[in-house]
A and B are shown apart, each in its own frame.
Chain A
Amino acid sequence: MGSQGGFGQSKEFLDLIKSIGECRSKAEEDRIVLREIETLKTRLSSPNTPKFKLKEYLIRLLYVEMLGHDASFGYIHAVKMTHDENLLLKRTGYLAVTLFLNEDHDLIILIVNTIQKDLKSDNYLVVCAALNAVCRLINEETIPAVLPQVVELLGHQKEAVRKKAVMALHRFYQRAPGSVSHLISNFRKRLCDNDPGVMGAALCPLFDLITIDADAYKDLVVSFVNILKQVAERRLPKSYDYHQMPAPFIQIKLLKILALLGSGDKKASEQMYTIVGDIMRKCDSTSNIGNAILYECICCVSSLHPNPKLLEAAADAISKFLKSDSHNLRYLGIDALSRLIKISPEIAEQHQLAVIDCLEFEYLFVCSFSCYKASMSLNLAFPYMISISDNHYKTEIASRCVELAEQFAPSNQWFIQAMNKVFEHAGDLVNAKVAHNLMRLIAEGFGEDDDAADTQLRSSAVESYLQIMGEPKLPSAFLQVICWVLGEYGTADGKYSASYITGKLCDVAEAHLADDTVKAYAITALMKIYSFEIAAGRAVDVLPECQSLIEEMLASHSTDLQQRAYELQAILNLDAHAVEKIMPMDSTCDDIEIDKSLSFLNGYVQQAVENGAQPYIPESERSGMSNISNFKSQEDHESSTHALRFEAYELPKPVLSQNVPPILASSTELVPVPEPLYVADILQPATSAPSGSDAGPSELRLRLDGVQRKWGKPTYSSATPSTSSNDTVKIQNEATQRDSVGISNSKTRDVSYDSRKQQVEISPEKQKLAASLFGVVSKSDGRQPSSSQKISKHQNPTSDKSRAAKTAAPDTAAVKTSQPPPDLLDLSEPSVSSSAPSVDPFKQWKAFLI
């Protein structure tokens, strides 16, 4: 390149670009650019810099920003430069501000005045520069400031200015439709402009307007058709020809507008048939732009009221596209085909082979497959999907296949088969939502009230899964679906025995030891099957391998698995009546109502109050007394500054009330519920219900006291010793606190309260020590509460069976809905891992368990 010297830029700029071009790493480039930024900073702010130098610095700054660095320090210089009298500098300034600033930038206000002045300039180039800036920079607030000038320019003698003024108005319309609504008639007027360029520019805003409301512009159909005719007959000046096509871009825009106006309107369509047919005939299909027009014609034909002749012509054109060697044309051919297919499906038959050819060329083609029968397109897509190794493409194709299958599935069985294939080959890449959808579909059936069909669907699903699950290396998501379906419907039709299914489930769990999610699904499935068996009155014989699996889970490091294992064990020991309440058969789609106000406890509370218990003081009243807790003060804050609350905080509650249905309730694994508040709400009925009984759950209550004492603010009347700020802990306290109201035995509480107070006053050294030990302690800590729970669970049913049955319903509701592992038992777990407690919990546990 001998031309570097001629660019008028200094050597410094040349060196900068050279060194950036030669650097080998991003870090090196960054170093160079940062150095450049420093130089520019000093040079730009120095008052002695000559103006023309300033221009170059600004351009260098633009370059720096383009490379991805912050150049905000120079924005003000760009703004200053727009004020300059010199045209070159002014234009550079405008260019810089349009590239630097976005429309909401504070500096815009400094430019508006200059723009106003420039719009009135005698020099049309200055006006053009200002209009360019207007298009980019003027926002809703500043539109009124420049609007009168821009409207005036619509009548400017130079066509370039008129054109840009139309565009600027269009831009205003896009930004703030309201601000220019009274000027929309101007666009219609410009359609009759002498200059075709201005007319073409007016088509852009009209296209937008017609997209929104086609009916208001039906009267323009004739004018559009006339314009198109004139264009196609080469009545425009020669300078509008492009590759021997007369004004192709105007033609394309007009065809798009006609498509909008003619869709679903027979009368309007009839006016267009002749001209569209003419254009299709005349199109020169050897040039790129000719094909562009042809493609646009096909799109237009497909949206007009059907006309056999035109459809035939369009089909011919498509077949030309599909047979072409150019990939672009094939791509468009398929796209056009998918449009036309909606009107005349038989065309698809002719072009099957061509489409299959295309498939080998580009994955994107799959997106257009909706034009075929879903079964056929998927049969084509699967081998292709399997053959590619690139994850990005594979994900793309898998999601397309799912989309297609969902839309076009001919039968339910087919759909399940198709999904099986997708999962098998790309299971780890598809969205988890897809798996959930599949489960829901199987659970809900297809919405029709045809139980037999649903049952058949389910048993065919079970059958296919039993076949597939033996294969090695199935993706995790797929295994989850399999486990869930087997758990729900494995034994439903009586074809397979419970021991057969449970054996299979155990195999799955054992084959995927590293995958906790799959194991969790498997164990829940086991639980379902056993409880169905128990409920049906059959004797349950737990297979030895299941037994060992459960044992293993009981000692698992994952609290989730542990929890599930304990639940399973507990259920095995319940009687048929209770189990049926807990795990009703095929109840995944039933709504579970949660009595949030715990009204069923009212009588009990009443009784307790009569017996001398303190009445419950609502949170809001209590908060006045103790404001130490973060949670409370936060709540105060929330209530006092009610106006500032964001929507996001509100969300969990609707979820709770409405969303309990199908999937959510069906199995605990399906939908994560990350909101701690939500969990707390659910927890309440669960924890308080058992504690409501007199003798049985004494241990349970004891344990809860322990938790409370450990971290919590003990009761509303006491000074709060806790220092923890973890939310979960607080919430948990809340739950226990509220439920403690229901506990009539206030004496024991007082006693424990005293001891608690003592324990709280542990020296800081000890606390530190505890904190340092905590990592070790927490492991054993996590296990202990559940073992105590285990005992209580074992005792409960035997001592008081009817109570178990009574509380079972809310209990399962809580178990089912609360998510991740329903922390009923392991309340301590999250806080253990997340916050350092002020006292040694291990000691306390010991104290309570002994």
Chain B
Amino acid sequence: MIRGVIIMNDQGKPRLIRFYEFQLIFGCCWSILIRGLRLACGEAAGAGSKHLQNRAENVSNFVKVDSLFGPSYDHQLAGCAACVQNFCNIYFVFIFDNSENELAMLDLMQVFVETLDKCFSNVCELDIVFNFNKVHTILDEIILGGQVLETSSSDVVMAVEDISKLEKNSNSIIPSIPGWQGR
């Protein structure tokens, strides 16, 4: 199953965190996570740079995450791998265990990004920051309880549009927030 999804920018700031097996307890291991992801992104450990550099040329997208999240999560994530991919300055990280196919995860990420792109018409980091409730909605349509639910981005877009239409209708009593539906 998929254990978690993380979206972060190139400075290591989290934009979306979703874990399916357990709650990542706030603050406790954030720095370890960032360090681990930096490593994952091919950056030499201990490099002083604040920015995640572009992934080194000579590494694949997959990393073992056994020890990325600090001791309190090691047993829960034992045997898991992460798939890291960056689009522009946003890094997408999927964490999954050995019952998933690595390349398929890469494609699932592609589906997710495509869907975001369709929903926000050319998605950028700010879209994700300001509408992360919508991003969560999209993610919920793709992954439910750690299992892949839907892989057709057009279907996801349709479902999300249905939701937003309905929300808009019930929303009309509150005129002051147009919401993200307008986009």
Contacts and interface: CB of A to CB of B under 8 A. Distances in A.
Interface residues of B, number: 71
A164 B144 contact: yes
Interface string A642-675: 0000000000000000000000000000000000
B73 interface: no
Interface string A63-84: 1011111110000000000000
Interface stretch (A4-12, A583-591, A709-717, A737-745): A4-12
A125 B166 CA distance: 8
A160 interface: yes
Contacts of B61: 327-328
Contact of A8 (B46, B102, B148, B180): B180
Contacts of B15: 66
Interface string A16-36: 010011000000000000000
B126 A3 contact: yes
B131 interface: yes
A243 B131 CA distance: 28
B133 A7 contact: no
Interface in B34-62: 39, 44-46, 58-62
A694 B89 CA distance: 83
Contacts of B179: 8, 88
Contacts of A296: 101, 104
B130 A4 contact: yes
B16 A66 contact: yes
Interface string B115-146: 00000000010110111110011001000110
B35 to A, nearest CB: 10
Interface in B140-175: 140, 144-145, 147-152, 154-155, 159, 162-163, 166-167, 170-171, 173-174
Given A52-B174, A68-B27, A204-B147, A249 B180 contact: no
Contacts of A295: 101-103
A332 B103 contact: yes
B77 to A, nearest CB: 16
A285 to B, nearest CB: 11
Contact of B149 (A8, A69, A167, A211): A167
B166 A87 contact: yes
Contacts of A256: 99, 101
Nearest to A335: B102
A91 B174 contact: no
A354 interface: no
Contacts of B62: 328, 331, 364
B166 to A, nearest CB: 5
B145 A168 contact: yes
23 contacts: A1-B124, A6-B178, A59-B133, A67-B14, A70-B26, A86-B174, A88-B170, A88-B179, A92-B133, A95-B133, A99-B18, A211-B99, A240-B152, A249-B151, A256-B99, A288-B106, A289-B107, A292-B103, A292-B107, A295-B101, A328-B62, A390-B44, A390-B45
A498 interface: no
A68 B63 CA distance: 24
Interface string A358-388: 0011101000000000000000000000000
A88 B167 contact: yes
Contacts of A197: 149-150
Contacts of B149: 163-164, 167, 197, 201
A235 to B, nearest CB: 16
Contacts of A99: 18, 136
Main secondary structure on chain B at its contact with chain A? Answer: mixed
A67 B27 CA distance: 8
A4 B177 contact: no
Contact of B104 (A63, A132, A164, A252): A252
B15 to A, nearest CB: 8
Given A201-B149, A390-B45, 7 more contacts: A66-B16, A170-B147, A201-B147, A204-B1, A328-B62, A328-B106, A360-B58
A88 B171 contact: yes
A68 B170 contact: no
Given A52-B177, A125-B166, A65 B104 contact: no
Nearest to B14: A66
B145 A171 contact: yes
A710 B110 CA distance: 74
Contacts of A160: 159
Contact of A252 (B101, B130, B162, B171): B101
Among B23, B99, B126, B144, max chain A CB count under 10 A is at B144
B145 A136 contact: yes
B60 A362 contact: yes
A87 B26 contact: no
Given A170-B145, A239-B154, A364-B60, A69 B13 contact: no
A62 interface: yes
A21 B1 CA distance: 33
Interface string B81-103: 00000000000000000010111
A66 B133 CA distance: 12
Contacts of B111: 242
Interface in A115-145: 123, 125, 131-132, 135-136
Given A8-B177, A170-B147, A292-B104, A63 B132 contact: yes
B134 to A, nearest CB: 10
A327 B151 CA distance: 24
B24 to A, nearest CB: 9
Nearest to A239: B152
A224 to B, nearest CB: 16
A774 interface: no
A455 to B, nearest CB: 40
B78 interface: no
A86 B170 CA distance: 6
A186 interface: no
Contacts of B108: 249
A13 interface: yes
A3 B104 CA distance: 33
A248 interface: yes
Contacts of B174: 51-52, 86
A328 B147 contact: no
B163 to A, nearest CB: 6
A292 B101 contact: yes
B30 A327 contact: no
B59 A361 contact: yes
Contact of B107 (A135, A168, A242, A330): A242
Given A7-B130, A66-B16, A362-B58, A86 B171 contact: yes
Contacts of A88: 167, 170-171, 179
Contacts of A364: 60, 62-64
